[in-house]
Amino acid sequence: MQQLRGTKDILPNDIIFWQYLYDTASKFFTLSNYHEIRTPIIESSTLFKRSIGNATDIVNKEMYSFIDQGSREITLRPEGTASIARSFISNQLYNSKKINRLWYLGPMFRYERPQNGRQRQFHQLGIECIGSINPMADAEVIRIANSFLTKLKCSNYKIEINSIGNIEERNKYKEKLVQYLIPYRGDLDKDSQQKLHVNPLKILDSKNQKTQEILRRAPCLQEYLTTDSIKHFHSICEYLDLLSIKYSINPYLIRGLDYYNYTAFEIKTNLLGSQDTICGGGRYDLLIKQLGGPNTPSVGWAIGVERLLLLIQNNLIIERNKPYIYIAHRGQRTQNTVLKIISLLEEQEISFELNLENNNFQKQLKQASKVGAQACIIIGDDEVSNKSITIKWLSNHKQENISLINLSTLIARLKDLSSIN
C-alpha cells in the first residue's frame, strides 16, 4: 500500500530534527515574548476565500476543499495567517492585550506538483505580531527571522524587501501595468496571460525569462506610492540598517496573497534550485477587520519547514536517544522480576529497552551494544533461583551479581549514573 502522492512519512530518524526545530523555536521565540498558538487543520472555506483572495492560485487551484456531512464547505488550511486571524477574532484576544505576539508550527495543504521540499501536505513555522502599525514591528519580525536562521546555522541566504503600498495605490498601479502589458500579451508566458486581467501583480513574480524582459520596461509600483507608504518603508530600512541586517530592495517582489499591504519580504537561498524561497511574509493591516474583527494592523512571516530542514540538516549534530539499560531475559520464571525492574526504572525515569525476542543471551547482549545501552541487566533461571540479577557494564565488560534485596539500591545507583551521562 503506497502513501498518497504529495505526502511523506516523517520517520524516527527524521523526527529528531523536527523535534530539535520545535524545541529551538519555542525557546528562541519566548525570548521576544512570542507565545505558541495551535489552530484547527480544518476551517470554513469562506475564511480563505475572503482573506487570501478569489483571484489567487491558492484559492482557484490549490485548496483541498470538501462538503462535510452537515453540508458545510470545509477546507484543509493552505496557510497559517488566516487561521490565526480567525482565532484572534473568535477568541477575542484583543480584549486581553493590545499587542499579541504569536507563533505556530503545523501542517498545511495545497494541491501542487510535488517537488523536493514541497509536498501537498507541508509544514510551516510562522510568527504574527498582531496589533501594531509601527514600522519597528516590521523590522522586529524580519530581525527574528534572520536571527532564527542564524541560530540554526543556516547560511547562504538573502533578504529581499519591498513596499507594495495600500489597496488604492496598488489598484492605480494595476491599471497602468495592464495598459502596458496588453500590447505584449502574445509574448507573455501562458500563466501570465491568464493572470493579466485577474491578478496582474503576480505577473511580476514570473520566472519566465521573456516575460521578465518585458517587465524591465514596465511601470514601477514605487512610482504610485504615497508619502505614508514611502515613510513606513524608509523607517523599516533604517531599522534594519541600525541592526546591521543585510537586505536588498526588490521592486518586483509581490507576495501571492491578497491581504498584504505596505511591507512584503522574502528570504531566499540559492541552494534549493527553483524553490528558492524559504521564508516569506509582510504586513496585513486590513485582514482582521475584513474578517469581522476590530481594526488591527499586523505583520508576520512563515517558513517552509521541509525546505528549512533541507538546508540545515547536514549542519546539525543531534544525539539520538539511546536506552541507558537493556533488559535481557529468558524463560517464563523471569517475568515477575522483569516487570518489577521495569516499574522501578520508569519510576526513576531511567531509559531502557526490553528484549522481546526471547533469543539466547549472546544475541541479546549484541543487541544491547547495537542500541547503545550503557549496561545490560540479565535475568535467567540461575538469577531467579538465587533471587538475584546480573548487570553487565558494556563499556568495560565487567559484570556484577546483585541480590534482589539490594535492587532499590542498584536502581538509585543507575539513576545517578544515567544523570551524569
* Predicted confidence (pLDDT) per residue in 179-195, tens digit: 998 988 888 888 888 88
Last residue of a domain, one of 262, 285, 315: 315
CATH number for the domain that contains residue 196: 3.30.930.10
Q: Say whether 260 counts as a known binding-site residue.
A: yes
Q: Picking from 51-60, 94-103, 157-166, 230-239, which range would have the lowest pLDDT averaged per residue? A: 51-60
Collect all residues with Cβ–Cβ distance below 8 Å to 300 and sequence separation of at least 6. 81, 84, 126, 127, 128, 129, 130, 141, 281, 284
* Predicted confidence (pLDDT) per residue in 222-279, tens digit: 888 999 999 999 999 999 999 999 999 998 888 767 788 899 999 998 877 666 889 9
pLDDT higher than 70, residue 420: no
* Predicted confidence (pLDDT) per residue in 79-96, tens digit: 999 999 999 999 999 998
pLDDT of residue 274: 66
Q: Say whether 306 counts as a known binding-site residue.
A: no
What is the number of other CB atoms lying within 10 angstroms of the CB of residue 324? 19
- Give the CA angle between residues 104, 58, 220 to the nearest 5°: 100
pLDDT of residue 417: 80
138 lies in the same domain as 246: yes
Beta strand 35-36 pairing with 100-109: parallel
255 lies in the same domain as 400: no
Q: Say whether 213 counts as a known binding-site residue.
A: no
Last residue of a domain, one of 315, 342, 364: 315
DSSP state of 200: G
pLDDT higher than 90, residue 374: yes
Exposure class string for 348-369: b at 16+ Cβ within 10 A, else e:
eebebbbbeeeeebeebbebbe
378 lies in the same domain as 295: no
pLDDT higher than 90, residue 368: yes
Q: Say whether 81 counts as a known binding-site residue.
A: yes
6 falls within a domain: no
336 lies in the same domain as 281: no
119 lies in the same domain as 267: yes
Tell me the residue type at 228.
Answer: D
120 lies in the same domain as 268: yes
pLDDT higher than 90, residue 329: yes
Q: Say whether 72 counts as a known binding-site residue.
A: no
Cα diameter, the chain: 96
237 lies in the same domain as 343: no
Cell output for 220: 514601477
Burial class (CB in 10 A: 0-12, 13-18, 19+), 405: exposed
Q: Say whether 259 counts as a known binding-site residue.
A: yes
- Say how far apart CA 360 and CA 150 lie, in whole Å: 50
Q: Say whether 399 counts as a known binding-site residue.
A: no
What end-to-end distance do the CA atoms of the chain give, in Å? 42
- Say how far apart CA 143 and CA 241 lie, in whole Å: 11
- Say how far apart CA 6 and CA 27 lie, in whole Å: 31
Local structure of 18: helix, strand or coil? helix
7 falls within a domain: no
364 falls within a domain: yes
Cell output for 89: 477574532
Q: Say whether 79 counts as a known binding-site residue.
A: yes
Helical packing angle, 335-347 and 407-420, nearest 10° = 50
Domain containing residue 412: 325-420
Q: Per the structure, how many domains does the chain have? A: 2
- Say how far apart CA 154 and CA 278 lie, in whole Å: 11
Confidence of residue 54 (pLDDT cuts 50, 70, 90): low
Last residue of a domain, one of 285, 315, 345: 315
